[in-house]
């Protein structure tokens, strides 16, 4: 005869699954059959977890570590064959992070930080991937990650308050809560040119680069796109290829990285003051430590402006955005910075006609993602590089031999699509995620994403999105924002457990108010003036909505903390058995 209370059950191991866990289940007695009134487990198996996490990049790994630490059982599903997320897939030549390596790393473990040694100011993709593997091994995370497994659906069962997960290998799992750690830029986008299947050469997308690398020596290569990925790829391909054609639709602003080996005194200083630096990053507008000058670009003399811009150009990196406080709010102020970068492009590129084609004119600086490069503009001084302006001569089709624009055919051995991603919403909407009453996330977001704090969605109880739309995410140092979300989610789950609660769910009112606030803040900036992926403008038919929250990492963190301190204000909480 079963008794009410806590059950402790041991379960066997299955191949590929961690085994022999002891799991607690709360049960009440009804006749001689147990009726489960809370979050725990009706039928014990190793596919039943407290939490399922989708993705094993920076976000998924840290989420798993936190859940483990709190005593929750968790399974991570990862489509790739290894950890790393973005850094697993984006292996194109020259791939590296344009946030400085000391800042683009976890802060949650002082020991981890002290023992890891970055070698360059900006880490390469292989070094970041090594770091993430080190983290996964150091914290013994891989045993709870199922690789080569893509989650195809996550469906909320209202009768049990559980998420049912199905994977592409036919696997099933059940979890009380589900955390989407799927990344903001994980669904790559290839333009739908006619004839694309007829091309007899090789095609690549920067976001899905072959692991064995590609040797372009002696080839005629076409790179389509001039965003961050292309800007890193192009100088490297130009070094190998017999000839490189760059197909540019919209020119981009890029500032030099001035990458170098990480000086030992810089590393030492960082480690000595790490707590202080990390704390500053957590409250900085972008989660980045560059110096933010609060003055208006228009209140200082022309000489002072020039000095600021030269200094930041000379230092390198994203700090150009912090040269003045109004660059992202006032077009006239922004024009001064934009004109500075334009003059730099004209100074680097020898052919004036090529330079003019590379000069961005129709959107303010940094309202499309500011790029950081090593030798990008100078690459166009090479004899083996040709810039093709597809704004004036659009690509019309892919042919067997190459690409045809409105005025010429370019014969190519390889085409590299550096054409970006269906950012922030693509991966989530492509998954069959269903909340209450079977409503899919795709339906719910058909007019653009709606969320409360960018972390939860009304109608989708116990579903968390790490760095989702409506949170600072891509407008910030991703690692700072990931850690903040993971910690907030972990705190929330602890709260639910301590208070005997079964579900948490954003209310429609709170969600509406947050979406209105996100839009209001975005509309106070210059960002809506650009056709950027921040606005969904790079995907035909995607609603034109500013996706991230631009109110600032520090302000956002404070808001999240206040919400939690007020007993999760704006969320509906339901008790076990209710």
Using CB under 6 A as the criterion, which residues of the chain lie in contact with ligand N01 when the complex forms? 97-98, 185, 191, 206, 224-230, 232, 249-250, 369, 390, 395, 418-421, 474, 533, 538
Residue 419's nearest CA partner among 247, 197, 240, 543 is 247
Least separation in angstroms between residue 232's CB and ligand N01 is 6
- Taking the complex as a whole, the smallest distance from the CB of residue 540 to ligand N01 amounts, in Å, to 8
User: Between 357 and 390, whose beta carbon lies closer to ligand N01?
Assistant: 390
Comparing CB distances to ligand N01, the nearer of 100 and 511 is 100
Measured between alpha carbons, how far is 231 from 227 in angstroms, rounded to an integer? 6
CB nearer to ligand N01: pick between 177 and 245:
245
Question: Between residues 73 and 252, which has the closer beta carbon with respect to ligand N01?
Answer: 252
Helices (H), 349-472: 352-358, 426-430, 441-444
Query: In whole angstroms, how close is the CB of 122 to ligand N01 at the nearest point?
Result: 8
CB-wise, 97 or 547, nearer to ligand N01? 97
How far apart are CB 209 and ligand N01 at their closest, in Å? 11
Indicate the residue among 222 and 420 with the shorter CB distance to ligand N01: 420
Helices marked H in 214-330? 228-240, 264-272, 274-283, 302-315
Residue 225 or residue 435: which is nearer to ligand N01 going by CB?
A: 225
Secondary structure, 3-state, 137-205: HHCCCHHHEECCCCEEEEEEECCCCEEEEEECCCCEEEEEEEEECCCCCCCECCCCCCCHHHCCCEEEE
Q: Hey, what are 307's tokens?
A: 């000095």
Q: What is the DSSP letter of 421?
A: B
Instruction: Determine the Cα–Cα distance for residues 402 and 427; give it in Å rounded to an integer.
Output: 30
Residue with tokens 């049912």: 164
Q: 435-469 in b/e burial notation, b at 16+ Cβ within 10 A?
A: beeeebbeebbeebbbbbbbbbbbbbbbbbbbbbb
Q: Closer CB to ligand N01, residue 367 or residue 538?
A: 538
Q: How far is the CB of 104 from ligand N01 (least distance, A)?
A: 8
Residue 171, Cα to own-chain centre: how many angstroms? 26
Tokens of residue 152, six digits? 């195809």
- Three-state DSSP at 458 gives coil
d(CA 553, CA 539): 27
- CB nearer ligand N01, residue 154 or residue 388: 388
Q: Smallest distance, Å, CB 233 to ligand N01? A: 9
Chain centroid to CA 150: 18
In the complex with ligand N01, the residue whose CB is nearer, 123 or 323, is 123
Nearest approach, Cβ of residue 571 and ligand N01 (Å): 30
Least distance in angstroms from the C-beta of 70 to ligand N01: 31
Tokens of 399: 């042919």
Q: Choose between 363 and 571: whose C-beta lies nearer to ligand N01.
A: 363
Q: How far is the CB of 231 from ligand N01 (least distance, A)?
A: 7
Q: How far is the CB of 531 from ligand N01 (least distance, A)?
A: 6
Q: Residue 508: CB partners within 8 Å, gap ≥ 6?
A: 458
- C-beta nearest to ligand N01: residue: 227
Beta-carbon-side half-sphere exposure of residue 429 (alpha carbons within 13 Å) = 18
Nearest approach in angstroms of CB 438 to ligand N01 is: 33
Q: Tokens 């979406």 label which residue?
A: 515
**Non-local CB neighbours of 279 within 8 Å, separated by 6+ positions:** none
Beta-carbon count within 10 A of 281 CB: 21
């Amino acid at each position: 005869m079963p008794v009410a209370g806590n059950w402790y059950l041991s379960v066997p191991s299955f191949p590929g699954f961690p085994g022999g866990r002891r799991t607690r289940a709360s049960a009440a007695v009804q006749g001689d059959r147990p009726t489960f009134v809370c979050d725990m487990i009706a039928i014990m198996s190793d596919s039943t977890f407290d939490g399922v996490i989708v993705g094993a990049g920076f976000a998924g790994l840290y989420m798993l570590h936190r859940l483990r630490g709190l005593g929750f059982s968790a399974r991570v599903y990862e489509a790739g064959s290894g950890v790393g997320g973005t850094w697993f897939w984006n292996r194109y030549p020259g791939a590296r992070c344009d946030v400085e390596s000391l800042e683009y790393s976890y802060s949650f473990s002082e020991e981890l930080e002290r023992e890891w040694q970055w070698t360059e100011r900006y880490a390469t993709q292989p070094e970041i991937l090594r770091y993430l593997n080190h983290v996964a091994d150091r914290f013994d995370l891989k045993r709870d990650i199922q690789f080569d497994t893509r989650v195809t659906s996550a469906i909320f069962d209202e009768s049990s308050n559980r998420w049912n997960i199905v994977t592409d290998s036919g696997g099933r799992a059940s979890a009380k809560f589900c955390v989407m750690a799927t990344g903001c830029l994980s669904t790559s986008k290839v333009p739908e040119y006619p004839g694309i299947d007829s091309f007899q050469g090789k095609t690549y997308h920067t976001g899905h680069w072959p692991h064995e690398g590609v040797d372009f020596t002696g080839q005629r290569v076409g790179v389509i796109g001039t965003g961050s990925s292309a800007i890193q790829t192009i100088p490297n391909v130009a070094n190998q290829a017999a000839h490189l054609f760059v197909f540019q639709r919209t020119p981009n602003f890029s500032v030099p990285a001035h990458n170098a080996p990480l000086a030992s005194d810089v590393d030492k200083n960082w480690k000595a003051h790490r707590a202080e630096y990390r704390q500053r990053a957590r409250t900085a507008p972008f989660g980045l430590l560059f110096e933010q000058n609060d003055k208006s670009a228009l209140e200082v003399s022309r000489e002072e402006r020039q000095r600021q811009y030269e200094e930041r150009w000379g230092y390198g990196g994203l700090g150009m955005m912090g040269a003045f406080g109004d660059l992202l709010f006032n077009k006239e102020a922004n024009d001064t910075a934009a004109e500075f970068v334009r003059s730099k492009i004209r100074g680097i590129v020898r052919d004036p006609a090529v330079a003019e084609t590379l000069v961005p004119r129709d959107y303010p600086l940094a309202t499309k993602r500011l790029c950081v490069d090593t030798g990008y503009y100078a690459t166009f001084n090479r004899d083996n590089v040709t810039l093709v302006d597809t704004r004036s001569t659009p690509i019309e089709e892919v042919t067997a031999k190459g690409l045809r624009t409105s005025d010429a055919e370019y014969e190519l051995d390889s085409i590299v699509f550096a054409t970006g991603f269906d950012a922030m919403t693509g991966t989530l909407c492509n998954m069959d995620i269903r909340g209450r009453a079977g409503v899919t996330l795709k339906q719910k977001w058909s007019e653009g994403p709606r969320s409360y704090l960018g972390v939860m969605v009304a109608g989708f109880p116990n579903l968390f999105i790490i760095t989702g739309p409506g949170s600072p995410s891509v407008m910030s140092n991703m690692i700072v924002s990931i850690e903040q979300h993971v910690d907030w989610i972990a705190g929330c789950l602890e709260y639910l457990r301590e208070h005997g609660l079964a579900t948490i769910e954003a209310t429609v009112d709170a969600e509406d108010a947050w979406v209105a606030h996100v839009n209001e803040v975005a509309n106070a900036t210059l960002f809506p003036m650009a056709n950027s992926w921040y606005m969904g403008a790079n995907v035909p038919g995607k609603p034109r909505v500013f996706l991230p929250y631009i109110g600032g990492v520090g302000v956002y963190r404070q808001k999240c903390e206040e919400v939690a301190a007020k007993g999760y204000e704006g969320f509906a909480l339901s008790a076990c058995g209710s």
